[in-house]
Amino acid sequence: MITYSKISAKGQGALIVDYMKEGRAQADKDVRIEEDPSADRGGRLVAYYTGRDGRGAWMAGMGSRIADQLGVDTSAPPTDAALARLYEAKRADTGEAWSGQGKKRDLSAWDFTASPDKSVSLAAELCGTALERAAIWHAIHQAGEETMHMIMDHVGVARRGDGKTAHAEEGETAYVFYRHHTARPTLEIQDGPDGATAVIEVPVAGDPQSHIHYHLFNAVATQSGHLGSLDSARITKTTSFLFGAYFQAILAERLRELGIEVQVDETHRAIRVTAVPDQARDFFSKRHKDTQKRAEDFVASQGREWQKLSAEEKFRILSQTNQIFRQAKWTGGNEQEIWAEMAKELGWETSSVMTGHKAQSLSDEERYDAAYQVAIKLVADDFKSAAVLDAELLRVHAARGLIGVGIKGEQDIERVAELIKKRGIVFNGVQTQIVERSQHNTMRIANREQIRIEKSVSQHIERMLEDKTGRLDPEVLRRAIAASGLDFTSEPEHGAAQLAAIHALGEADRIAFLMGVAGAGKTALLKPLVSAWKEEGRQVVGTGIAWRQAEALRDAGIDRTYALTRLLSEFKSGKLVLDDKSVLVIDEMSQIAPKPFLELLEHQKKMGFSMRMLGDRDQGQAIEAGDSIELLLRALPPSHLPQITSTLRQKFQRDRAIAALFRSDGRDLSKTEAQQREADVVRAGEALDMKRADGTVRLVGGSHRKVVEDIARLYLRRRDMLLAAGYTRGVTISAPTNADVADISQAIRAHLKARGEIGEDRAVVRAIDQRGEQYDLPLTIDDRVRLFDRIECRVKTPHGVRRHSLGSNGDFVTVRDVQENGLVLRNRQGREGFVSWDDLRDVKHTDRIRLGFGHAMTIDAAQGITSDEHINAMPRGTASMTGFMAYVAETRHVYRCWTMISEAAVREAELRSRALGDPDPVRMADLWNRVAGDLGRHDYKALGLDLVMGQQELDRLRAKALAAAINSERVQMAGRIPAAELQTKRENSALEATAPGDWKDLTYLLKQTGFELSRAMQAEARREQVAEQARKRQERERVRERAPSQAPGM
């Protein structure tokens, strides 16, 4: 892969040199031309050219223009002083600032790091003879060098001038490179129990990981003599993927040329050496994780606490304990010898990997076709979760497709990318074409099948709006409301909104959607509706994306509920048939993508049932591509689109205000995307400021393990207090990832065991979660475990043993007994029954038991729950969070939400975002700003429809604006006022075009117009510009009419 980072021109260049050279001293003489017969010429030369020297070297073939501009002497290796000056954006020879019209550069270079797969690194360090290892290292270097030429072609362009004078000049660029052979282990070290936490490099031997740092200087020497900066706008996450794929493809070619058998990994992102076993790859990737545990165990044996030690003490003990461990266990004098001993202990024979293997020979057309077949699968996979993609991904996946079949140059990537555009892809089992358009000054792609899905959803909604049947009898609804027992008076404004929503859902025709904030009581207000539907003899069925959400609808009185996948299966098989008297209630609509939504609408067309949907677009989004709520908002009139913007879940007004700040105001068409993002971040920052004042948010210091322990202790402390006070809903925990959930749950279990609340382990089963992660799961009485499937249990009744539903994916159950053939489990409703191991087994793949650790849940699983208190846990920081996730996690509570965030993870993210050598310290304010930036990020899913409609709308509005300008001039010439006439014409045309019975209120018409304009913001801006020009012309005409004529010279 290729990663990239920035290098600051404001830092101390000498420190960067020392960091990159890993403390190696500058060579006294150039070993390439050294004449001293006593020098180890051969060994040093091999080291120099195969990467074990690591002192840095100039690129081969550096151009004379760039060398002269930077003051580089390419005839000699770089000196420390020369490199230090370059890192400060100064000439290597004189130390004068780089030229460039006096413009100061904030960045002196970009660090592009090329890293092969672990198997290649192990082969380069351990396999075969020294000469063979040198050859593998040389292959890595060749691949990196060719990739750097590609990168320089992309970014070696100096942008000059502004506005109409803006132009680009190509030029020469230069880099220096450093070859490293280990990965530097890092740990989170906290300075004492309450001090700051920093991520430091551990002073121990690293794992083998060959990589080369290419420092491309931020300078472009043009033929005109100008020294500009790199075109850094072309350095993006997507282009780094492209560079990485090209590096892997070239590396595969070079390794094949050496007679080494290679294969592409399962992700098609990297090449592996087949002869290196997976066991070795795994071992040498995780070995340093034991480093801190050895140090902590030593401190505990001395009767001291690791958490109370200063950072200096921790660093010293880490160094000492691991040095002692290394000397006691291994006899090798250097890292390579120790790695060889480790490999031998694993039973891995590190013999030659140059077996003379000959890869299959393919013609160019065969290579292109094979690469195309791989690439279209990767493109289709990306389209599964996003309707609109960066067009550059076509080239990325084309390059990945070429890794396994061979590449001759960058032109091969272009050929395969063109094939994708020409032939299309297979998406959802349908052959479809790629659509490429410019959107917000960036080339984007969509596929016609996704566009068809979104168009069809909109058409079905419009079709259902034309059906004027399906309404509840108003009198029946009023009786149901009166009998519901719901309180609409204690919170008058909220109660009025709920009543309005009930009437809107009941009195709508075939389709209606309720959008309500978290805690608005959306499920509660269904109760009178369900009662009224049943009174009229209607069948009511409920569904949600998961069983857990669907079954929550039972609280509203809906007896038949299905997870969405199961519901669609029942419809398709004919096992479930609804009619035009039936009502389908869909919860958490934001999680249902357009594709399954379309399937529901197609079944509705056949059966005729009514649809009532509930959801909130600012909570969890659909995993699949597209945005169903956006389509609903565009198509439904306000009468079918009730909204509740207030909440009752939080007891106190301040907590409600905090929760509201974590919620975005939604897509504001008056703001650009950047302005909207900034506004959302400001709101999240205000929420965090309020929580900091309340003491309910904390940056937790220490290592990941320590952060998890602190979260577990807080959970148990709050649980005990709530139980003692008689609260029944308790405290819950959510975390961003399944890995976080497992870590926290295990920590809580360990504390419960230490407190004697659960006993000794009765069994340890080989388990697996829904991601395929395998682990050992200990079980005992009163353990809490998580289900990954819909599970039924056997319950003894007076009528014999009966099967009843126990729970669904995401539910927690309590172990009541561990038996030879299975478990006795109890759910939160108190139902208890036996579940056999076979009912829990992953029979299709691993034969492991599908159970997980209980207590904590993912944020997605938490959506919809209500608890007395909630813990929003982020033990790996906020980088994986979004505003949607934050809003869900911060609104589960009635009384209080505690927010726990790893300080070390946030600090590391902040440091990684900065340029290497940036002298500005990381302050606590910077950390809180980063947290706000992550928790305020609301990236709404794009619609493929907008990509194709955007250009059509732009053309239509341009034509409309031009016609308006021409008409304005005609009106002025006739002595009339254009604005007044245009208004009259618009009003009359609207009246004339609207047929009786098809009236929609004015708000709906305005809303439709707004969404049309939102599809083409550039078109809207152009229309406003034309209108402004027309207004100015009109004003000038008025001025001329009022002003007296003047003769020349007066």
Task: Decide if 784 contacts 813 (C-beta within 8 A).
Answer: yes
Query: Lowest-confidence range among 36-50, 249-263, 773-787?
Result: 36-50
Q: Are residues 927 and 960 in the same domain?
A: no
**pLDDT at 31 (0 to 100):** 46
* Residue 336's pLDDT band (cuts 50, 70, 90): confident
Q: What is the pLDDT of residues 192-224, one digit of tens each?
A: 676 766 666 665 566 788 999 999 999 999 998
Report if residue 329 sits inside a domain: no
pTM over 0.75: yes
Q: What is the CATH number of the domain that holds 571?
A: 3.40.50.300
The whole-chain average pLDDT of the chain stands at: 84
* Residue 647's pLDDT band (cuts 50, 70, 90): confident
* Token pair belonging to 471: 């309404």
**pLDDT at 1002 (0 to 100):** 41
Q: What is the mean pLDDT of residues 686-696?
A: 96
Q: Are residues 130 and 222 in the same domain?
A: yes
How many domains does the structure of the chain reveal? 5
The pLDDT > 70 percentage for the chain reads 80
Q: Are residues 230 and 270 in the same domain?
A: yes
Report if residue 80 sits inside a domain: yes
Report if residue 451 sits inside a domain: no
* Residue 401's pLDDT band (cuts 50, 70, 90): very high
Q: How many angstroms separate the CA atoms of 328 and 588, rounded? A: 58
Report if residue 899 sits inside a domain: yes
Q: What is the pLDDT of residues 942-979, one digit of tens each?
A: 899 988 876 555 555 445 555 655 665 565 566 655 44
CA angle, residues 566, 567, 572, in degrees to nearest 5: 95
* Token pair belonging to 749: 């279990």
Q: How many angstroms separate the CA atoms of 785 and 764, rounded? A: 13
* Among candidate residues 609, 576, 629, 661, the one with its CA nearest the CA of residue 936: 661
Q: What are phi and psi of 569, to 5 degrees?
A: -65, -40
Report if residue 583 sits inside a domain: yes
**pLDDT at 1015 (0 to 100):** 43
Phi-psi domain of 850 (left: phi exceeds 0; alpha: psi -120 through 50; beta: other): beta
- The better pLDDT of the pair 190, 93 is held by 93
Q: What is the pLDDT of residues 404-423, one digit of tens each?
A: 999 999 999 999 999 999 99
* Token pair belonging to 476: 């029946």
Q: What are phi and psi of 103, to 5 degrees?
A: -80, 125
* Residue 296's pLDDT band (cuts 50, 70, 90): confident
Q: What is the pLDDT of residues 725-759, one digit of tens each?
A: 999 999 999 999 888 999 999 999 999 999 999 98
**pLDDT at 288 (0 to 100):** 54
Q: Are residues 770 and 847 in the same domain?
A: yes
Q: How many angstroms separate the CA atoms of 138 and 132, rounded? A: 10
Q: How many angstroms separate the CA atoms of 107 and 915, rounded? A: 8
Q: What is the mean pLDDT of residues 122-141?
A: 93
Asked if pLDDT for residue 808 goes beyond 90, the answer is no
For residue 650, with 0-12 CB atoms within 10 Å meaning exposed, 13-18 middle and 19 or more buried, which class applies? buried
**pLDDT at 956 (0 to 100):** 56
**pLDDT at 952 (0 to 100):** 58
Q: What is the mean pLDDT of residues 225-240?
A: 91
Q: What is the residue-wise DSSP string for 814-848?
A: EEEEE-SSEEEEE-TTS-EEEEEHHHHB-TTTT--
Task: Decide if 284 contacts 350 (C-beta within 8 A).
Answer: no
Contacts of 275 (CB under 8 A, 6+ apart): 123, 127, 260, 261, 353, 355
Report if residue 269 sits inside a domain: yes
Report if residue 51 sits inside a domain: yes
* Among candidate residues 118, 127, 140, the one with its CA nearest the CA of residue 279: 118
Q: What is the residue-wise DSSP string for 11-35?
A: S-HHHHHHHHTTTPPPPSS-TTT--
Q: Are residues 714 and 609 in the same domain?
A: no
Report if residue 288 sits inside a domain: no
Q: Are residues 826 and 750 in the same domain?
A: yes
Q: Are residues 925 and 950 in the same domain?
A: no
Query: Lowest-confidence range among 164-168, 608-612, 636-640, 881-885?
Result: 164-168
Q: How many angstroms separate the CA atoms of 372 and 962, rounded? A: 44
**pLDDT at 284 (0 to 100):** 83
> Rounded to a whole number, what is the largest CA-CA distance in the chain?
115
Q: Are residues 834 and 956 in the same domain?
A: no
Q: Are residues 892 and 1017 in the same domain?
A: no
54: containing domain? 2-180+209-277
Q: Are residues 695 and 640 in the same domain?
A: no
